[in-house]
Structure formats: C-alpha cells, structure tokens
A and B are shown apart, each in its own frame.
Chain A
Amino acid sequence: MATHRIELSVNGAKQSAEVPSRLLLVHLLRENLRLTGTHIGCDTTHCGACTVLLDGTPVKSCTVLAVQADGREVTTVEGLEKDGKLHPIQEGFWEKHGLQCGYCTPGMMLSGCALLARNKSPSEAEIREAISGNLCRCTGYVNIVKAIEYAAEKMRER
C-alpha cells in the first residue's frame, strides 16, 4: 500500500509521519501519536465521539483521512488545557456535571468550543443544534447545555 509523508500541527506541536493512504485521522491521533482522548463510537459518522478541530472547524476524525490533515492544524481534547489551566469549557463540564462516562465528552467539548468561537452568546437552541452531531447516551444533554452556557459566560468575562 502506498504511503505518504505528511506534516501537521497537533495541539501546537509539529508532527510528521509516514502514513498509508487509507489511514484515518482518528487512528493517526490515537495510535501513532497516542492521543487517546479522541474516541471512536461508530462507523457511520453519527456519534461525534471522534470530533476534533481541523483549522478550527469541528470534523469527525473517523471520516477524515490522515493525508487530508497534511499541512493543517489539529486540536484535540489534549490541547484544551493551557499552561496547567483548564479551558472554560472543561471547567464548565466539571462544574455543571456535563459528563458521566466521559466517552462523548472530548468530542462534545470540541463542538462546544467551535460554537463559542463563532457565537459568544449562544441560545439554548443554538447550543443544542451545535452539538446535534455528538451523541451522548448518559447525560440527557441538559447539563451539557449548562456546561456550554457556563463556558460562554466565562469566556465573555475574559
């Protein structure tokens, strides 16, 4: 199988890898780079457990080839905390009990981050729509909405 040399930035760090054409971004992250916070929950691009930011846009990394990330910037859950300080979205999820098993959480938080980057004061309906590509089986979404509202407020204060 053909392989390709790719270079990308992951959470601000330069990475280069020799990858097979068919390698999925999610496997590059999880297995080659051992960033296991990005999860896999389906095979039909429905669950969003694998959500990462690609140049700031949320994508489902199970449906992106590693080669498509060549020359681009990827943010995973491991990149949210900066200098030992939690991102407001992380604080929000902890404060508001926005997670139970934690499996959907990294993807949820990244979808939330992408929303807050383009909309500082989202309504409940806008939050629900922004996370509608991320399934959570545990929380019933009520506290996830509150967690994102909490983060929005924190980020407005800054």
Chain B
Amino acid sequence: MATPRTSPEISGMGHSMKRKEDPRFIRGRGNYVDDIQLPGMLHMDIVRSPFAHAKIKSIDTSKALKVPGVLAVIDGPTLAKYNLHWMPTLMSDTQMVLPTDRVMYQAQEVCAVIATDRYAAADGVEAVEVDYEPLEPVIDAHKALLPSAPVLRTDKKGKTDNRIFHWEVGDKSATDKAFKDADVVVAQDMYIPRIHVASIETCGCVADFDRVTGKLTVYMTTQAPHAIRTVFALVAGHVGLSEEKIRIVSPDIGGGFGGKVPVYPGYVIATAASVVIGKPIKWVEDRMENLQADSFARDYHIHAELAARKDGTMTALRIKTLADHGYADAAANPSKFPAGLFSICTGSYDVKHAFAEVDGVYTNKPPGGIAYRCSFRVTEAVHCIERITDVLASELKMDPAALRMKNFIQPDKFPYKSALGWEYDSGNYGAALRKAMDIIGYEDLRKEQAEKRARGELMGIGISSFTEIVGAGPSKHFDILGIKMFDSCEIRVHPTGKAIARFGTKSQGQGHETTYAQIVAEELGIPASQVQVEEGDTDTAPYGLGTYASRSTPTAGAAGAMAARKIREKAKKLAAHLLECSPDDLVWEPGKFSVKGAPDRFKTIQDCAFAAYTNHPQGMEAGLEAVSYYDPPNLTFPFGSYICVVDIDRGTGMVKIRRFVAVDDCGNIINPMIVDGQIHGGLTMGMAPALLEEIQYDESGNIQGGSFMDYLVPTAMETPAWEVDKTVTPSPHHPFGAKGVGESATVGAPPAIANAVVDALAHLGVKHVEIPITPEKVWRILREKGVAE
C-alpha cells in the first residue's frame, strides 16, 4: 500500500480513519425505519397467500373490521379503483400490488390491514377470511417450458408460454468450431441455488401523506431513493402525485445487499393507504415475510462446457442456462441486460471463443433475481468458470493453480477485449494468485494433502481466481427503466472552510460518511472530519441511481472527486487573487496553493473558502460549491485470488474451513480498514451459499426455508477467521484509480470452497458437488464411496 499523500489530520485516501457514522450506532442512536414514530401514525400488516397458485374466490373482512383497533382493510379491488393494483418492475415487466382474482406465489400479498398499533394489525390479519381455489402450480423451471405447463402470465395478451426472454451473446459458429477442433472438452451441469440476502433489518416504510400540502414523504428501506421517487411519480401520476411533491427518505439502513433495491408491494400499499386515510402509515415486514416474499437471488441452472488443448490452453467456452425468475421478471438488472453481466463468464482467462445463452422463465415463486451482494449475475458467472476450470484441471491431471497461471490474461494485454465484448480495464492476475499461494503455503499444503490422503483423511485445497465487473455504468449501455446509470455529488464549502457533500447513493453499512469525506479530503485538503456527508434524502441530495453492484466508489465516489476538482479550480483563482499572482504560478498540495519557487507565500483552502464569501474578485460569482454528474467511461474490473483449505469429517460429512486466504485487488484504496471489513463480510456471504443457505420449494410451491429456523445465516461459529491481503492495480479510467470492492468476496468465495471440497474427494472419483455443500450431501457421497465412518 502506497503511503497516503495527506496527513492523518486531513485523512485523505489511504488512511484507516475510524468511521464517522459509528458514534451514533454504538450508542443505539441510529435512525432505522422502524425507529421512526410520527404523530397519529397507524400500522399496517399484510395477509399473505398460503398457496403458490390459486384463484381468490372471496375475501371476507367483516370479522377483521370488528377487531378493536382495526380501521380498514385494503384489497386489490380497492386499489383497482385508483388503478394502483399493478406496478412495473425494474425490468419493465409488471407485477401485482394486490391481486384482484389470483395469487401467483406463496406469501404473496393478498390484502392489508390498517390499525392503531402493530398488535391490532396482526389480530386483523388473523381475522381476514380468504376463500381460495388452488390451481396447478409451475415450480420446476425445466417443466415451465414444456407445452403441457399451464401458462402463468395470462394477464399478458397473447402470451402462450412461460418464457420471459431468450438472450444470447458471442460468436456461436466460431465457438462451435473451436469445440470441434479441441483436444479436450469437459462439461458440467451446475445449479446455483435460490438464496436470500437476509439483511438483519427487514424491509419497511413509513408513508406520510400531508393532505394540506399534498406532499408525500416516504421513509423507506431503499438503496436507490431517487429512482424510487421517479417510479412513484410515474406509477401514481394519475392520482395526482407529482414528482416535486414526493420526497423519499432513506434513513439508516440495516444492511441492503441488493434486497432493498426493488419496489415491494408493501411500500406501495402503505403509500396508497396514507393517501387515502390521510395519516402516516408504518409497515415493517417480519423475518418470515422477508424471506418468503422479498427478492431472491440466483436460481440459475447452468450447463457449461470448456474446450482446451492438451497442454491446458483453454480455447472456447459454451454455456446454456435456464433462469428461474419467479412470477415476474423483477430482477434489478440494467434494462438492456436481462441476464445481467453474466457475460463476464470467461473470467480471468484468455479464452478466444465463447458463446452464452440464457432463457428466463416464469414460475409460481416470488419475483426477484439478483439481489445478493452481487453486481448483476456475476456470482453465477464466476462460479461457472471457476468450477469448470477445476473440472478441466482434473481431466488433464493438471494442478489447478498451474492451469490458471497458464490461461490468465497477461498484465501486458490490458485493456483487454474479452470474447463476449467487455473491455477489462486493468489486471495482474498471476501476481494475486502467487501472493495467495505464498501466504497459504500452497506447495506444502499439497504435500500435506498427499500424506493425509494416504492415511485416509479428507483434506482439500480450492482456488478461485475471479474477475468482477462493477461500477455500472457508462450511460451508453446502462440504464434502469430508462434512467441512465450515472451518479452524483454536490459539494458546498462553507465560509469557514468546512464542507457538506451530498451524494446520489445510499450507504447501508458501507461507511460512505467516512470514505466519501476522505475523497473530498484527498482532493481539497479539508480534513475529512470537517466534511459532512449526506445521502438518501431526495429533497436535498443530487439525483443518482443508488448503491448496489459495488457502484458507489466507481460512480458517486468519482463524482465526489470531480466536484472537488471543480472547487479546487475556483479556489485556485481565489488564491491567485489573494496572492496577487497568476493562477498559473500556483502549485497545489493537499490543503494549500503556494507560489512556485516561494513556498512561504501560500493560501490555504480555508483562506480561499473565506475569500469566496468575503473577498471574491470582481467578475467572479461568490460562493464555493460544485456539482458533478459522473458518467463512467467504462466499468471497473476488480479481481482476486482466493485459496481455501478444508477438512472433511468422515463421520458427519461436515466441511470445516481450516484456512481461507483472500488476496483482493480493488485498485487504489480509500480506507484500508473499511475495505478489509467489506471483504470479511463479503467472504462470509460467499461461504453462506457455498455451505449453508438455500431456499427450496416442494412440488406444491411451499417454501422449505422460510424462517431463520432453517434458513441458515452463518454465525460466528461457522465463520472462519478470514485472512485478507491485497495487490493494487489501479483502474486507469477512474479519477482516483479505485475499482469498488463491496461484492468481490461474495462473488469469489463460493467456488474456492466448492473446489476445495471437490478436491478433498477427487481421489474418490468426485468431479462436482452442488452448493450448498451441506453435511448431509457430503455424508451421502462418503457413504456411496464407502468411506463414511
């Protein structure tokens, strides 16, 4: 790590500054949505469907309305009167807010009870009587496309099957030819299971419509408040809500990870209820609602094939995937990318030919698709390439590290154009893998493994050398519902030289109040402690697309630097005015301009700020502020190499992660402490689906993991002591060379763990194990191979 340019007092980039947001959190003084209490506030609770697919014959609310404290029940027909019973999804599909005749997944919202307190609302939910007629559900994604499957989206005119889209990328014929010419071809089916982010805070809102002013304020758990405001204006424009009268406030958020990007029906119902009733309405879902109805992630059925020469040179990659989107395509993807950035699937390797196709299908499951700390389907892509690379290594009897080294895109090839069309900005993959191998002692571990194997002990070493693609994105290609994916920052420097900086993103724990202040400190030399960072209030912050897909630093962080540079330009003119010299004679170091050759003649940024309000030159506008809307020229491509060592208990099938070394490269680093924290958390959310988490459905569409009883979020007991390190390869196109890091570890970790388990069992003839690798799954394999104890 390069030494920081600024002093600890200024704490610009590279300082492990303690977080500015922490003083309130460690005192219990955060302000999360459920902490908000407004005068006259009512509570909402939701009746949900027990069936995956059913006709609603009747909803009887008479008993519910007699429950003390219950004021109203809102159902689909109520909303239909205002034409608010349907809403668009972020993928321009449509989704019910409340049903008028049919439910399409278990736990779907059926109607909502409004009451004076949360207990009364829950009583009301119990008392609502709904008469359902169950219909045949479509649960298996493969069967969804059979001609015999019932067509689910009969609301769409002319829809005759359950296909949402067919998407493909790459040169099919060149890829097919490369496969024909290959010395070796390996193939592997793999399923990336449906999982849920399960942020410890669930979702909710307080909707507050003021009948006198006509202003709607919605405090809500959203990662993208500005886009939500526009969606609300577009959806509810016809009932008189106009964008200047809508204020979305995203208060402190208890973890998001993508699960707080979509618009859930609960938000819309609470808002409609507030408009109709004229009182603030609070809705906070409970954990079971959160796990059962909110946006899921993954659910990709992949068939991958990799072609290579005898010496291990990879020549072509071919992938066919079936994507289960549930009842609606509500994945929060950029509009033009129905399969997200899955086409990063050639990974870190110089594969000349590739072709990938994805079919999205409707089933009777909740809608969603990408929300689990991942930049749009990158985790699926990385699992696929890193797993099949190990399958190839085992086929060729090559060491998986050596096979990777042989195929890495070499450092002198950047910017590198991938076979599927991406331009990778920078990378040095071999250095990261070598570093990880040195830290963990790779060669010694292989010796130890051989000895253990001879004794019948099961030990495995797994590698993942991933390439991420984040920071969406260039507006040429990236938009959500037509809104371009730029991001923004507005900085005002006050007369006394302190500043406020507002951003279009929204932290959910990433530490923006600290890191953004450090960016401004780096660029202006104003101490980070004196830069107040604000986000999440659409009335005050500049418009931006929000925080997800590791985009905050690449986009809004860049906007921060650009806005600060505009301010520095003006400050330079002010300094020249104060020093009575030409701006060209000034040199900048963080915090001050001095006259070239006369370093004791200088003006600090604080002097300049004061002059901007008290002594600005004639002809110059007063004030010192700037705004930047940053449209990145390209995405950024963080990468890393992870090595995992596992020991497997032959009695129980339990996989124990003995060591896990993560070498990450996210370009230049703003706050090393925060980056390490992001990686620790990301690794844990990578281990979770590898070993523990999965949401399954039975053939009737009943969820099998709908509470924390059986949806196993890792505790401190299963989580190993992660060992993290870095290499630094700056992004050449980012204003300060950063790449983004929030999701790298979640994306990179699962195949390292899966590869380690398969490696531990390889000598028994095991080529692949599906995640999550539960003790039961492993024990069955051990028993089948006759080595269970």
Contacts and interface: CB of A to CB of B under 8 A. Distances in A.
B254 A39 contact: yes
B30 A97 contact: no
Nearest to B30: A102
Nearest to A141: B716
A139 B680 contact: yes
Contacts of A61: none
A42 B511 contact: no
Contacts of A109: 26
A137 B28 contact: no
A18 B719 CA distance: 43
Contacts of A104: 200
Contact of B254 (A95, A101, A132): A101
A142 interface: yes
Contact of A137 (B19, B200, B683): B200
Contacts of A81: 27
B119 A22 contact: yes
B25 A137 contact: no
A36 interface: yes
Most buried by B among A49, A90, A131: A90
Interface stretch (B137-145, B421-429, B706-714, B765-773): B706-714
Interface string A36-62: 111111111011010000000000000
Give the interface SS of chain A, mostly helix, strand, loop or mixed: loop
A7 B179 CA distance: 77
A94 B22 contact: yes
Interface string A45-87: 0110100000000000000000000000000111011000010
Interface stretch (B32-40, B323-331, B435-443, B452-460): B32-40
Contact of B708 (A42, A93, A138, A141): A42
Given A90-B27, A140-B684, A44 B709 contact: yes
Nearest to B68: A1
B198 interface: yes
Contacts of B84: none
A115 to B, nearest CB: 12
B157 interface: no
A60 B709 CA distance: 15
A147 B510 CA distance: 18
B67 to A, nearest CB: 11
Given A35-B28, A95-B18, A100 B510 contact: yes
Contact of A78 (B27, B673, B682, B719): B27
A137 B692 CA distance: 14
Most buried by A among B119, B510, B685, B722: B119
Contact of B200 (A20, A37, A86, A135): A135
A8 interface: no
B677 A139 contact: yes
Given A81-B27, A100-B511, A137 B677 contact: no
B716 A144 contact: yes
Contacts of B716: 127-129, 131-132, 134, 136, 141, 144-145
A43 B286 contact: yes
B509 interface: yes
Nearest to B25: A102
B672 to A, nearest CB: 10
Most buried by B among A23, A109, A142: A142
Nearest to A93: B26
Contacts of B715: 131-135
Contact of A97 (B673, B684, B707): B673
A128 B714 CA distance: 12
A47 B200 CA distance: 7
A94 B19 contact: yes
Contacts of B679: 140
A38 B177 CA distance: 62
B29 interface: yes
A40 B118 CA distance: 14
A103 B26 contact: no
Most buried by B among A42, A44, A49: A42
Interface string B280-298: 0000001110000000000
8 contacts: A39-B254, A41-B201, A44-B287, A47-B200, A95-B18, A132-B715, A136-B716, A137-B681
Interface of A: 20, 22-23, 27, 30-31, 34-44, 46-47, 49, 76-78, 80-81, 86, 90, 93-95, 97, 99-106, 109, 124, 127-129, 131-145
Given A46-B707, A140-B677, 9 more contacts: A39-B32, A41-B287, A42-B286, A47-B200, A99-B26, A102-B22, A102-B24, A103-B30, A141-B719
* 8 A-B pairs with least C-beta separation: A37-B28, A101-B509, A103-B254, A102-B25, A140-B680, A77-B28, A100-B509, A46-B708
